[in-house]
Amino acid sequence: MADRPLAAVILAAGLGKRMKADVPKVLVEACGRTLLEHVLAALEPVKAKPVVVVHGHGGDAVKAAVAGRGLLFAHQAEQRGTGHAVQSALPALKGFHGDLLILCGDTPLLTGTVLTDLVRDHARAGRVLTVLSAEVREPGSLGRILRGSDGRLKDIRETADATPAERAVREINTGVMVIDLGRLAPALERLTPNNAQGEYYLTDVPRLLLVESAIVDAFKTSDEGAALGVNNPLELAEAVRVLRRRAVDRALLDGVRVEDPDTTRIDAGAEIGAGTIVRPFTFVGAGARIGARCRIGPFAHVPPGAVVPDGASFPPG
């Protein structure tokens, strides 16, 4: 992907109290795939290795859900902030030298295209650290990207610590960054919890590196969805809506005739061949395989993992 080796850390230790689910938040499903699995799918194109998943609450369930994928795991015993979470992952990265891609495990709209663009931009510019940012209509509680007079990143301000003027900024931190691992570890040691949350913020690392004259900046993606973390059922529903719309749009561009996109639902990993007609009120389950030149629906439910051969009708008859 880049000249330097690339590893990844996925922060998946949050309690997720606002989700009100009976499983760890990252194991909540969106379109037939857990939030964590969506992030792992987005990681595939950049070929990061190793990939470390930081778990906390429900760690055994998280490890079991993604077992057999060659992942490494790190336990964050106390929830003391994102900086502390990344620090918990460092022992698993012993012996690795290169860049580290840091992501959150509750961002199902993050795509491989966005991560590929980020990693390429970081490598091309020869930076020590690159933050992935996005401009959003409603920044809400997301951390703000503060730029200097030269247009480059000068700080990231968490909402709880921001002034009214800083809160008016619409460019936000997505929670994704790439950083030279050799510079990260010493910076994490210098973090302090002197903030409104009393936590060790990973977002303080850019400022610490800038003091050392390191090359640091933010790469702004045009994909606003990259910023959507899922913290409650309302945000989950919005993520599902976007994921399903993306799936329908992709099918249309692949030559599938979706007669009524507004009543068609296509879950994660489903594939539909060119020339197939999907009639209204059809649901295609996760991982289903529908061949070319098929007729699906109306009012059809193609089960997850089902296979419909070329030229077939579903339901049959």
In a domain, 196, yes or no: yes
Is the domain of 133 the same as that of 190? yes
Is the domain of 203 the same as that of 287? no
CA distances to 36, 62, 175 from 57, rounded to whole Å, are: 14, 9, 20
Is the domain of 68 the same as that of 213? yes
Is the domain of 306 the same as that of 223? no
CB atoms within 10 A of CB 213: 8
The pair of three-digit structure tokens given for residue 252, joined into one six-digit string: 């249309």
> By C-alpha distance, which of 171, 192, 43 is closest to 112?
43
- Count of positions (residues) in the chain: 317
In a domain, 24, yes or no: yes
Is the domain of 161 the same as that of 273? no
The pair of three-digit structure tokens given for residue 285, joined into one six-digit string: 């389950």
Query: What's phi and psi for 245, nearest 5 deg?
Result: -65, -40
What pLDDT sits at residue 2? 46
Q: Find the catalytic residue in 4, 18, 207, 279.
A: 18
* Angular region, 217: left φ>0, alpha ψ -120 to 50, beta rest: beta
Show the 3-state SS of 166-235: HHCCCEEEEEEEEEEHHHHHHHHHCCCCCCCCCCCCHHHHHHHHHHCCCCEEEEEECCHHHHCCCCCHHH
In a domain, 92, yes or no: yes
What pLDDT sits at residue 226? 84
Is the domain of 214 the same as that of 132? yes
CATH code at position 310: 2.160.10.10
Is the domain of 288 the same as that of 168? no
> Which of 227, 262, 297 is a domain's end point?
227
Is the domain of 182 the same as that of 265? no
Is the domain of 213 the same as that of 263? no
In a domain, 100, yes or no: yes
In a domain, 233, yes or no: no
The three-point CA angle 237-57-140 to 5° equals 40
Q: Which domain holds residue 120?
A: 6-227
In a domain, 68, yes or no: yes
What pLDDT sits at residue 309? 98
In a domain, 248, yes or no: no
Active site residue 147: no
CATH code at position 216: 3.90.550.10
Is the domain of 265 the same as that of 138? no
In a domain, 238, yes or no: no
> Which of 164, 192, 227 is a domain's end point?
227
CA distances to 82, 96, 242 from 8, rounded to whole Å, are: 15, 11, 25
Is the domain of 184 the same as that of 53? yes
Q: What is the Cβ-side half-sphere exposure of residue 258, based on CA atoms within 13 angstroms? A: 25
Cα separation, 76 vs 115, in Å, equals 25
pTM of the model: 0.93
The pair of three-digit structure tokens given for residue 263, joined into one six-digit string: 């009543």
> By C-alpha distance, which of 156, 165, 183, 146 is closest to 82?
156
Number of domains in the chain: 2
The pair of three-digit structure tokens given for residue 209, joined into one six-digit string: 């590196």
CB atoms within 10 A of CB 251: 24
Q: What is the chain's pLDDT, residue by residue, as a tens digit (317 residues)?
A: 447 899 999 999 987 788 888 899 999 999 999 999 999 999 999 999 999 999 998 899 999 999 999 999 999 988 889 999 999 999 999 999 999 999 999 999 999 999 999 999 999 999 999 999 999 988 888 999 999 999 999 999 988 889 999 999 999 999 999 999 999 999 999 999 988 888 999 999 999 999 999 999 999 999 988 878 899 999 999 999 999 999 999 999 999 999 999 999 999 999 999 999 999 999 999 999 999 999 999 999 999 999 999 999 999 86
Is the domain of 267 the same as that of 123? no
